[in-house]
């Protein structure tokens, strides 16, 4: 049986058995009695309640929870933190569905006590099970996959490896253009480079990572294209797979300080697990507190923008996220409607200390006080952004800047933020070299303490401008 079916059967069996076990435990008469204790601690009721009907509750609860976890039965093991988050999301949906069934007076209604007691058990047990069933099996040798866009570079990388890789991924079009390949090119394999078989194109990377139980991906790209190179890194990140790159092509990625040899390790996740969790907790707490605290200000800004020119309140822009992906960021509109489309100007003259005639009267106040950035707290809460990190640029500006500024892509290895060293130092996008220097300083020295320091400085700057 291949690993895909083992994962499917294991994940389904785990959900069924753990759900049944949890219901069996909470429906025990002793547990029900303890859960229904009198207000005085330690005093049991004189007539303990009878245990609820076990069979019907077991069937309903297991069926609902098993169905709610259907999206996770596909063999796509991810990083441990992502797995835990996904399981908790599906568990929330499942418990909500079970509670909904119990709300109505059906003969198979699930009592509230059962729902209440089952939740903490599954909150711990199910993530542990999915992490265990999705783990990569132990093997005596490292399982390596080469991924690239140039057959020549792929052959060079294969020759540098100390063990034969499982195969390689490469676009069909680049293979046809490679003069040394005489064999017919097929969609999913058949072409050998350096004695290694092709397993398909770059679009198959996630399937191959799972099917072949890959431990390490070695990148062999002639050029670090946003969609392909960083797409491969994103797949490695999502699946918890290590990545390496040839030293000659390491200028676009983060690497360790003491790297030796031809192939160097890519630092895909600069944060340790505990630091990542603390940073995310800080982001959620900050964004929630900020949205609650400035809710009256938000209402006032909306009214002011409408009274000023009657246009839309929010302005949407596409920005670059982690690994070169994109997301939509929202700001309170500070310019006239369709300012960029009408003028073709993307960088505001205010960023360089000038006066931009496209900025409205209300918008000028919003920009000076940074209040136009308030809607981005939603992006922080949603997880697209962090409170502290390199400010996200528009994809078209990223493309222009990275052609003239070395190491610019290294900013894409951390989540973009509301503020960062460049912002608190007054450096804008019109000075890409200085901005990059500050951003890379954060990438190297990032920590929760550093985040607190930068947030404190940014809050002080805003208060100083407002007052």
Whether 81 and 179 share a structural domain: no
Task: Give a yes or no: residue 325 inside a domain.
Answer: yes
238 and 295, same domain (yes or no): no
The answer to the question of residue 62 being in a domain is yes
| Together in a domain, 277 and 410 | yes
Domain that holds residue 225: 144-265
Q: Is 198 within a domain?
A: yes
Among 133, 167, 193, residue at a domain's last position: 133
Residue 217 sits in the same domain as residue 298: no
Hey, what are 52's tokens? 């609820």
pTM (two decimals)? 0.56
Residue 81 resides in a domain: yes
Strand order in the sheet with 216-220: 192-193, 196-200, 167-169, 144-148, 216-220, 242-246, 263-265
Please state, in angstroms and rounded to a whole number, the distance separating the CA atoms of residues 168 and 191: 10
Q: Give the pLDDT of the chain (467 residues) as one tens digit per residue.
A: 456 677 788 889 999 999 888 888 777 666 556 555 544 444 444 444 444 445 666 787 888 889 888 888 876 556 677 788 889 888 988 888 887 776 655 555 556 667 777 888 899 999 999 888 877 665 556 788 999 888 888 888 888 887 788 889 888 766 655 544 444 444 444 567 778 888 888 888 888 887 787 888 988 887 655 567 777 877 887 777 888 887 766 655 665 555 556 677 777 666 666 677 788 889 999 999 999 999 999 999 999 998 888 888 998 888 887 777 788 989 998 888 776 655 555 555 555 555 677 888 888 888 888 888 899 999 999 888 999 988 888 877 766 665 555 556 667 777 888 888 888 887 776 677 787 778 777 777 778 888 888 888 888 887 776 66
Are both 157 and 70 inside the same structural domain? Answer: no
The reply to whether 331 falls in a domain is yes
Among residues 104, 133, 162, which one ends one of the domains?
A: 133
Q: For residues 215 and 361, state if they share a domain.
A: no
Q: How far apart are CA 111 and CA 49, in angstroms?
A: 13
129 and 151 inside one domain = no
Residue 244 lies in a domain: yes
C-alpha angle 157-160-162 in degrees, rounded to nearest 5 = 125
DSSP state, 411?
G
Q: Are residues 227 and 374 in the same domain?
A: no
Give the CATH number, domain containing residue 188: 3.40.50.720
Residues 248 and 350 placed together within one structural domain of the fold: no
Domain shared by 302 and 429, yes or no: yes
> Of the residues 76, 98, 133, which one is the last residue of a structural domain?
133
User: How many domains does the structure of the chain reveal?
Assistant: 3
Q: State whether 50 and 90 are in the same domain.
A: yes
Residues 257, 282, single domain; the answer is no
* Residue 13 falls inside a structural domain: yes
In a domain, 139, yes or no: no
């Amino acid at each position: 049986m291949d690993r895909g079916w083992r994962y499917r059967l294991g994940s389904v069996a785990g959900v069924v058995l753990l759900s049944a076990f949890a219901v069996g435990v909470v429906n025990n008469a002793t547990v029900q009695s303890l859960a229904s204790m009198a207000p005085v601690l330690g005093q049991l009721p004189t007539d303990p309640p009878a245990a609820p009907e076990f069979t019907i509750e077991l069937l309903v609860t297991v069926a609902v929870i098993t169905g709610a976890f259907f999206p996770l039965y596909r063999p796509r093991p991810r990083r441990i933190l992502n797995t835990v988050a996904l399981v908790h999301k599906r568990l929330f949906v499942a418990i909500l569905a079970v509670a909904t069934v119990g709300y109505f007076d059906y003969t198979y209604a699930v009592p509230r006590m059962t729902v209440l007691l089952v939740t903490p058990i599954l909150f711990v047990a199910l993530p542990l099970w999915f992490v265990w069933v999705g783990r990569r099996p132990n093997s005596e040798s490292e399982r390596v996959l080469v991924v690239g866009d140039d057959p020549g570079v792929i052959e060079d990388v294969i020759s540098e490896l100390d063990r034969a890789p499982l195969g390689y991924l490469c676009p069909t079009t680049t293979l046809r253009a490679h003069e040394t390949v005489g064999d017919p090119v097929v969609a999913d394999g058949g072409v050998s480079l350096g004695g290694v078989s092709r397993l398909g194109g770059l679009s198959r990377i996630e399937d191959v990572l799972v099917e072949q139980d890959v431990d390490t991906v070695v990148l062999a790209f002639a050029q670090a294209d946003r969609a392909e190179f960083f797409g491969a890194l994103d797949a490695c990140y999502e699946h918890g797979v290590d990545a390496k790159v040839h030293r000659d092509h390491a200028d676009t990625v983060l690497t360790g300080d003491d790297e030796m040899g031809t192939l160097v390790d890519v630092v895909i996740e600069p944060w340790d697990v505990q630091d990542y969790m603390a940073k995310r907790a800080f982001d959620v707490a900050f964004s929630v507190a900020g949205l609650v605290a400035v809710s009256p200000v938000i209402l006032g800004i909306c009214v002011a923008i409408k009274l000023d020119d009657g246009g839309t309140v929010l302005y949407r822009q596409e920005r670059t996220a982690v690994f070169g992906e994109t997301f939509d960021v929202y700001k309170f509109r500070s310019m006239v409607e369709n300012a960029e489309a009408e003028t073709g100007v993307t960088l505001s003259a205010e960023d360089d200390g000038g006066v931009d005639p496209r900025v409205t009267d209300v918008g000028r106040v919003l920009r000076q006080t940074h209040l136009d950035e308030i809607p981005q707290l939603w992006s922080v809460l949603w997880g697209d952004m962090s409170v502290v990190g390199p400010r996200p640029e528009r994809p078209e500006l990223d493309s222009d800047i990275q052609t003239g500024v070395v190491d610019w892509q290294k900013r894409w290895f951390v989540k973009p933020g509301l503020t960062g060293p460049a912002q608190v130092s007054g450096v804008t996008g019109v000075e890409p070299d200085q901005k990059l220097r500050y951003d890379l300083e954060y990438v190297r020295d990032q920590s929760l303490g550093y985040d607190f320091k930068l947030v404190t400085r940014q809050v002080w700057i805003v208060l100083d401008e407002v007052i």
